[in-house]
A and B are shown apart, each in its own frame.
Chain A
Amino acid sequence: AQSVAQPEDQVNVAEGNPLTVKCTYSVSGNPYLFWYVQYPNRGLQFLLKYITGDNLVKGSYGFEAEFNKSQTSFHLKKPSALVSDSALYFCAVRDWTGGFKTIFGAGTRLFVKA
């Protein structure tokens, strides 16, 4: 079965430090991977995606993610965290076997402290 795991409920980081939010996946076939962000009282917003090509994907707001096929991971990273990055982050994978469904991880809450 297709699945996505975000092993950390919460990540705390100081402003200016690098941040990593972890994601691992299990899919059959080539994965389509996504990161979304949800700010308080707002809808989900697209950050970035990996479909094919370069393993390092750059997205919105200075975020990037690295696709690692051998480790089946797609960790979200940012070199220097901002307080405004504090939000809920979801990793997701497109499930083609069941027909275009998107499977989401449980979410990781990021707190960036000033």
Chain B
Amino acid sequence: DVKVTQSSRYLVKRTGEKVFLECVQDMDHENMFWYRQDPGLGLRLIYFSYDVKMKEKGDIPEGYSVSREKKERFSLILESASTNQTSMYLCVTTMNTEAFFGQGTRLTVV
């Protein structure tokens, strides 16, 4: 079975902290994506990557950065967390027409 693992299900961080959200996939897929999910807004694309050390901005990259040092791992970084980054974060990997989702990380910034 395909597996996409996000390091935390729930996180609480303070405003101004640097936050790392980790995602690991075991499928040797090249494409990986970070979305945030907010009620009434659906899933919005933050950043994505097609290969190691490669990254592309999605629709809402402000306040975020990413790192892809190894093919299986795609990290989302909140440089200085703010309360408007409180959200559910989803890691996704795709192969052809299939998409595989992590369980999500619910981040609360206080």
**B103 CB within 8 Å of chain A:** yes
Q: Chain A: how many interface residues by the 8 Å CB criterion?
A: 24
The size of the chain B interface, using a CB distance under 8 A, is 23
- Bound together, the chains give a CA A44 to CA B42 distance in angstroms of 12
Interface check B43, CB cutoff 8 A: yes
- 0/1 interface trace, chain B 80-110, chain A, CB 8 Å (1 if under): 0000000000101010011101111000000
A1-41 toward B: CB 8 Å interface, digit per residue (1/0)? 00000100100000000000000000000001010100000
Question: Are B43 and A51 within 8 A (Cβ)?
Answer: no
A89 to B67, CA, bound (A): 30
B71 smallest CB distance to A (angstroms): 16
Give the interface of B toward A (CB within 8 A). Answer: 31, 33, 35, 40-45, 48, 50, 56, 58, 90, 92, 94, 97-99, 101-104
Chain A residues proximal to chain B, CB less than 8 Å: 6, 9, 32, 34, 36, 42-46, 49, 51, 90, 92, 94, 99-107
